[in-house]
Amino acid sequence: MRLSEKVVILTGASSGIGEATALRFAEEGAKLVIVARSGDKLEKIAEKASAFPGEVHPIVGDVSKKEDIENVVNKTIELFGRIDILINNAGILDNYLSADNMTDEVWNKVLDVNLTGPMRLTREVLKYMEKQKHGNIINTSSVGGLYGGRGGLAYVASKHALIGMTKHIGFMFQDKGIRCNAIAPGSIGTEIGLKVTNPNMSVLNKLMKHFELFPQTGEPNEIANIMLFLASEESSFINGTTIVADGGWTAF
């Protein structure tokens, strides 16, 4: 097993890429704390994972709330005494707004979940990772974090910033045995798009123009496998960078 006894905090674990990652990591023997806002969904995932050798502990939390983040980290330490791996995976889309029609409400909400949450969680776990002298942080960015035409303004800005944060953390903490990398998935078949209410159609239509060239939609498990590679020692010399997994969407 590639993650035997590894203690992992995984956010956004109640569906999609996070759910697939929770199950994949449990198969590989990890001890996981899975985080999302819905306790019922997390419990169902923990139940599915009970067939595997790892352990899965649901903790309800909203990554945009500082007190929830502190609670998740404190409870993980109470349960296991250390944190080996943090996966900042929770994320939301915006309503495909552009700079001329962005609202403060949408901007703040998206940045709080996609960027401030990962920063705060990283800040909290680093307290333990620095003492342990090892740690591994993985951020779920997006091809929207590398290109301008793959999402609304707040989403694209937050995912670009997450890649910048990944590089900064990777550089600053490499001498302390801590790595930080990001994954930039292309389009993956999850619920994320269904959660968008009232999209701005003029922005969306403009973004959709290149979709006819778009090769394929990926499966959550295809991203979970990359999470596993980055979380394992097989990727020990990879730090401060981003792995793109998009079936070739950004190859043109």
Ligand X SMILES: NC(=O)c1ccc[n+]([C@@H]2O[C@H](COP(=O)([O-])OP(=O)(O)OC[C@H]3O[C@@H](n4cnc5c(N)ncnc54)[C@H](O)[C@@H]3O)[C@@H](O)[C@H]2O)c1
> Which residue of the set 96, 128, 147, 155 is catalytic?
155
Only segment of 5-13, 71-79, 171-179, 208-216 that touches ligand X (CB under 6 A): 5-13
Contact predicate 63/113, CB 8 Å: yes
Is residue 14 close enough to count as binding ligand X by CB under 6 A? yes
DSSP at 116: I
196-204: long-range pairs with CB below 8 Å, 24+: 196/93, 196/94, 196/95, 196/96, 197/95, 198/95, 199/95, 199/96, 200/95, 200/96, 200/97, 200/98, 200/101, 200/152, 201/96, 203/96, 203/97, 203/98, 203/152, 204/96
Least distance (Å) from ligand X to the CB of residue 142? 3
Q: Which listed residue (188, 224, 230, 243) binds ligand X by CB under 6 A?
A: 188
Is residue 48 close enough to count as binding ligand X by CB under 6 A? no
User: Could you tell me which of 14, 25, 151 has the C-alpha nearest to residue 89?
Assistant: 14
Is residue 58 close enough to count as binding ligand X by CB under 6 A? no
Is residue 192 close enough to count as binding ligand X by CB under 6 A? yes
- Measured from the CB atom, the residue of 53 and 182 that comes closer to ligand X is 182
Catalytic status, residue 155: yes
| Contact residues for ligand X, defined by CB under 6 A | 11-18, 36-37, 62-64, 89-92, 113, 140, 142, 185, 187-188, 190-192, 195
Q: Looking at the annotation, which residues are catalytic?
A: 155
